[in-house]
């Protein structure tokens, strides 16, 4: 299973690292999107080490792929943990000012 994990800025973000470890232990391929506020609680290095994949932060990086399209096409499931009120409100309102 291919899991795209979104990590938002909350004190509970540290638990997402354990979630990555458990998903990988059960055979999932995990890619992580960190929001800018999520960076205040967990590091990209920790997420990259545990997931064994690149960590995505900025939606405006000039690469060969359009990240928000290729990541959504790659994933079987999107999990946002922790999901803050901020990201829930943005998703409900269609606000796309963040890669997640």
Taking only the tens of pLDDT, the chain with its 100 residues reads 999 999 999 999 999 999 999 999 999 999 999 999 999 999 999 999 999 999 999 876 666 666 667 888 899 999 999 999 999 999 999 998 888 8
**pTM, 2 dp:** 0.89
Q: How many domains does the chain have?
A: 1
CA distance 36 to 33: 10
Q: Spell out the alpha helix ranges (H) of 26-84.
A: 44-51, 67-74
CA distance 77 to 44: 21
Q: What is the pLDDT of residue 13?
A: 95
Q: Which residues contact 28 (CB under 8 A, 6 or more apart)?
A: 1, 2, 3
Let me know if residue 100 belongs to a domain.
Answer: no
Let me know if residue 98 belongs to a domain.
Answer: no
Both structure tokens of 88: 């829930």
Let me know if residue 84 belongs to a domain.
Answer: yes
Q: Which domain holds residue 39?
A: 2-93
Q: What is the pLDDT of residue 98?
A: 85
Q: Which CATH number belongs to the domain containing residue 45 in this structure?
A: 3.40.50.1950
Let me know if residue 74 belongs to a domain.
Answer: yes
Let me know if residue 52 belongs to a domain.
Answer: yes
């Amino acid at each position: 299973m291919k899991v795209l994990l979104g990590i938002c800025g909350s004190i509970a973000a540290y638990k997402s690292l354990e979630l990555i470890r458990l998903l990988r232990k059960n055979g999932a391929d995990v890619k992580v999107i960190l929001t800018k506020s999520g960076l205040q609680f967990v590091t990209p290095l920790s997420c990259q080490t545990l997931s064994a994949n690149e960590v995505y932060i900025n939606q405006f990086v000039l690469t060969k792929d359009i990240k928000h399209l290729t990541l959504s096409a790659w994933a079987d499931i999107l999990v946002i943990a922790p999901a803050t009120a901020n990201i829930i409100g943005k998703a409900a309102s269609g606000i796309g000012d963040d890669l997640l």
